Amino acid sequence: MPTSVIRLVRFTGRLLPHLAAVATLVSVFLVLIVLTDGAASGLAAWLTILGVGAALAMWWGRRRTWPARLVPFLPVIVTAALTATVCVPTVPTARHYPRALPFVTTQHWSLATGSRVAVYHYPPATPGARHPVPLVYLNGGPVRGISVLDHRFLQLLARQGYDVYTYEQAGGGRSDLLPMGQYTISRSVRDLGAFIDRVDKGKVDVLGFSSGGAVLTRALADPGVAARVHRAIIAEPGPMDGPTARITGHKGRSSARGLAPAMTGPRSTHVPRYAVAFGLMRLGLLTPDTGLVGQAEGDNAFTAADLGGDTASAYCARDAHRIPVEDSANNFSFSPAASLRIQQTVKDSPSIAGQLRRSRTPAMLMIAECSSQVRQWETTVLADDPAIRRTQYMPGVGHHMWNGLDGNDDRAAAVITAFLQGGPAPLPNYPSRDEIPAFLHDRK
């Protein structure tokens, strides 16, 4: 056997135990991160693993000569360097809010609930055709800034005579953060009621999209908040309560997820600290209030590219290679921890079906052909809310129904306008309540 091969084999034999030691220490570090919930930015776990590793290295080298005693410390040093990257922030730990948008004034309103939210107002561009009832928009997320794409759609509604108000829900966008324990779906509903009161123009129409649709659905089941709503449009809603959230089923027609080119741009999940924090939070191994990464730091770190295939899943498969840019880097904002916290409170909440069946607020449900939502999340709302007067199944669009492609904004606006003004529906009323079983069976 050649000498070079023998040396390589010997070197590998010496190296493998050290690599195994590093892998073991890193694994123990991650376990400690979970057990301590990331206490002190991960330093509690880091100092523990450093102390344990040093003690083991001393024991391992106790019978060696002095220079050789240092060799067992090499895995400890490597581990300390690797795991330190999980403990050191790479973005500011105080919240850096997105810059002001150039086309609309950002106001900040303090609500009676204690939330301080960023507010945007688009008055009707044509005063002569002004719709008498203000329209409030609840964006999706949850706890996500309102995208530029959504702002453009709201401007379209304002040009059609609507007095449009919208706000970024507490913790999202330019709105102030809340203590993590205060992010609940019930708080979101109370904030909606307080916001309508702050508008101070009587009853309002409300358009709720995605998780905003779930907030609106729960608001309709709350008599105190529902009394402030003139008409409700529930667009592509998320699950409305715990029993609904636990429903498994199919989604709409094929989306662009897995077909669209990968999103470009920096990702926080390429940084060890945030990859560990967001990954363990998503797995439920770290709480949203983890000591590893604070809420403000997590918001600063998270980028649009971190959404990965979630953005593509909001579009039909046929649109995979022409997905529009939904937002600018300066405007994008998403709070992963607060979002997970609110989603968990939905999963933990009891059924609201009984309260929703007593709703009397006229409502409309909008469903996308290529929806990325579980169909039963949508049809459960239709089945339980007797005040839903029409359902509009939107062909040719995914979850983000107003997306700037092929006149989709105009079609969505036409559906919304027809309902709010009591006009005939542009599309068939489909599915009706009686058609829900066939709709699900046909996997529409």
Q: E strands, 139-270, where?
A: 164-168, 204-209, 229-235
Q: What is the mean pLDDT of residues 385-397?
A: 97
Mean pLDDT for all residues in the chain: 92
* pLDDT per residue as tens digits for the range 318-352: 999 999 999 999 999 999 999 999 999 999 999 99
Helices and strands (DSSP H and E) totals, the chain: 17, 8
Distance in angstroms (rounded) separating the CA atoms of residues 273 and 279 = 10
Cα dihedral value 133, 412, 169, 351, nearest 10: 90
Q: What is the mean pLDDT of residues 78-105?
A: 94
DSSP β-bridge partners for residue 135 = 164, 205
Quick one: what percent of the chain has pLDDT higher than 70?
93
Is the separation of the CB atoms in 394 and 401 below 8 Å? Answer: yes
DSSP β-bridge partners for residue 255 = 316
Q: Is residue 5 very low, low, confident or very high in pLDDT (cuts 50, 70, 90)?
A: very low
Distance in angstroms (rounded) separating the CA atoms of residues 33 and 84 = 12
* pLDDT per residue as tens digits for the range 190-218: 999 999 999 999 999 999 999 999 999 99
* pLDDT per residue as tens digits for the range 172-191: 999 999 999 999 999 999 99
- Alpha-carbon separation of residue 95 from 43, 119, 300, 333 (angstroms): 22, 18, 7, 11
Does the structure show a pLDDT above 90 at 249?
Answer: no
Distance in angstroms (rounded) separating the CA atoms of residues 331 and 139 = 14
- Alpha-carbon separation of residue 428 from 393, 403, 409, 415 (angstroms): 8, 22, 18, 11
Distance in angstroms (rounded) separating the CA atoms of residues 416 and 420 = 6
Q: What is the mean pLDDT of residues 299-315?
A: 94
- pLDDT for 65: 66
User: What is the enclosing helix (H) or strand (E) of 118?
Assistant: strand 116-122
The string of DSSP codes covering 322-385 is: -----S-TTT--B-HHHHHHHHHHHHHSPP-HHHHTT--S-EEEEEEEE--S-HHHHHHHHHH-
DSSP β-bridge partners for residue 266 = none
DSSP β-bridge partners for residue 340 = none
The string of DSSP codes covering 295-334 is: HHHHHHH--GGGGTHHHHTTSBGGGTT-----S-TTT--B
404-102-209 Cα angle (round to 5): 40
Q: What is the mean pLDDT of residues 45-57?
A: 88
- pLDDT for 57: 73
User: What is the enclosing helix (H) or strand (E) of 279?
Assistant: helix 272-282
Is residue 377 classed exposed, middle or buried when 0-12, 13-18 and 19+ CB atoms within 10 A define those classes? Answer: buried
Q: Is residue 309 very low, low, confident or very high in pLDDT (cuts 50, 70, 90)?
A: confident
Is the separation of the CB atoms in 176 and 299 below 8 Å? Answer: no
Look up the pTM and report it: 0.93
Does the structure show a pLDDT above 80 at 426?
Answer: yes
First to last CA, the chain: 67
